[in-house]
Amino acid sequence: MGFKKLVALLFAASFMLVVAVRLNIEQMYLMSGVLVSIPIVSLGLGYWSLRDLHLERAAVQHCFEGGTVEITLSLRNTGPLSRGLLSLQMLTPRWIETRRVEDFGEEQQQVVQTVVTLRRGVYKLGPAQVTARDPLGIFTFRRRLPLYSDLVVYPSPQELPSFLTRLSGAQGADGDRSWDQRGGGVEMHTTREYQPGDELRRIHWPSTARAGRLVVVERQELSDVRTLLALELGEGTELGTGRGTTVDVSARLAAGLASEILHQGDSVGLITSEDAKAPYLEPGRGSPHYFRILESLSAAEAQGPRSLPETLDILSDRLPGSASLIFFTSRPTRKLLSRLSAWSASRGAVAGIAYTEGWGTAPGSDMQATDFALAAADMGIHVQLVAPPETDEPGERRKDSTAHGAGASVDW
């Protein structure tokens, strides 16, 4: 519609100019000039009306993949030519998909943008884009404001293979189990339903209020079991495409393992790439420690300068003398086998996951995944082979777009 308006104005101005020339009518010259100036003036008014914008944002900074996040954007226009907002949206990167934008307020000065997080990672949202029209609706203006926000998307904990569950010692709990440590780290507590004979002082009133029935606290000694999760993040070892690469699968399994281990009251640590901000998280307990693990898994990328066995060697002095090791690798090598064998002989149980050749071959591999698993079995180390999923990845996310109607567009 905007383009048609512009054509109509220019056609009318041209017609009046022709009539003025043929009939020598001075007033027609003036009318022709006025028609030509209308879109120019409207363009200037539309431009200046969006000069003094002040934008504020409110949103959470953490969520799990597959979850939704609401971003609230509030806009104030303090300029002399302030006018209603036609469209406001935070631009998002790939894997963060906008599902809905709702306007609020009499002049639509506030919007709530709902986005879906499709893949784990650390993302930067922004800038914010304001879209408006000039007073006559001829031109479309899009202005990008330097408003940015970080969003950490945690990997969704994945259901564990049975052998990993056994190694982690995760056998379930009868009641709600808390990771909060009591008594200086020597006890943990669980809750269960009240039974006749329980002492009244053991009633846990917050849980009782939530459950609608009496709930009591049981205290248990924390175990000395420690487990380390180690991810292969050497450069070039991320195989597969889309949302289901080997690193993504490893991150989801590691998140599930950490959750199970912590719920058992045991401690868990994480080993990632040496060039990461936190390449090694010492074994710990508690909800804050779990979310530190999730943050490291969110940022995990296969860009490290060293392989997993080299990373284990470098960190050897910092690692506990006794701990189980669960590894994830897409680069089966004899050097890794040797390192795992030494760990099994001196530190504790070892098990892990190796990704089959169906994913591709990581640079530096000197063994087939099946041969690696067989050789590990001879050493008493169980290796689970994981093949790529059969389902295809969803199509590419559509580029961000907003329908503005036909007409000229001005970006700045």
Q: Which residue has the tokens 């066995």?
A: 309
Question: What pLDDT shows up at residue 271?
Answer: 96
Candidates 299, 305, 303, 363; CA nearest to 333 is 363
Question: What pLDDT shows up at residue 92?
Answer: 94
In whole angstroms, what is the distance from residue 324 CA to residue 264 CA?
15
Burial of residue 73, with CB atoms counted within 10 A of its CB: 0-12 exposed, 13-18 middle, 19 or more buried: buried
CA dihedral 104, 106, 109, 114 (to 10 degrees): 10
**How would residue 175 be classed by pLDDT, with cut points 50, 70 and 90?**
very low
Q: What's CA 340's distance to the chain center, in Å?
A: 32
| Residue range 101-160, pLDDT digits in tens | 887 655 557 889 999 999 999 999 999 998 877 777 777 888 888 999 999 999 999 877
Q: How high does pLDDT run on average in the chain?
A: 81
Q: What's CA 312's distance to the chain center, in Å?
A: 28
At 18, is the secondary structure helix, strand, or coil? helix
In this structure, are residues 88 and 75 in contact, taking their beta carbons and an 8 Å threshold? yes
**Comparing 105 with 52, which gets the higher pLDDT?**
52
CA angle 320, 323, 325 (to 5 degrees): 115
State which of 27-36, 45-54, 157-166, 274-283 shows the largest mean pLDDT: 27-36
**Region of poorest pLDDT, from 28-32, 50-54, 315-319:** 50-54
Does the structure show a pLDDT above 70 at 222? no
**How would residue 223 be classed by pLDDT, with cut points 50, 70 and 90?**
low
In whole angstroms, what is the distance from residue 102 CA to residue 261 CA?
42
In this structure, are residues 136 and 6 in contact, taking their beta carbons and an 8 Å threshold? no
In this structure, are residues 271 and 311 in contact, taking their beta carbons and an 8 Å threshold? yes
Question: What pLDDT shows up at residue 276?
Answer: 63
In whole angstroms, what is the distance from residue 336 CA to residue 411 CA?
54
Q: Which residue has the tokens 């049981």?
A: 218
Which H or E element spans position 403? none
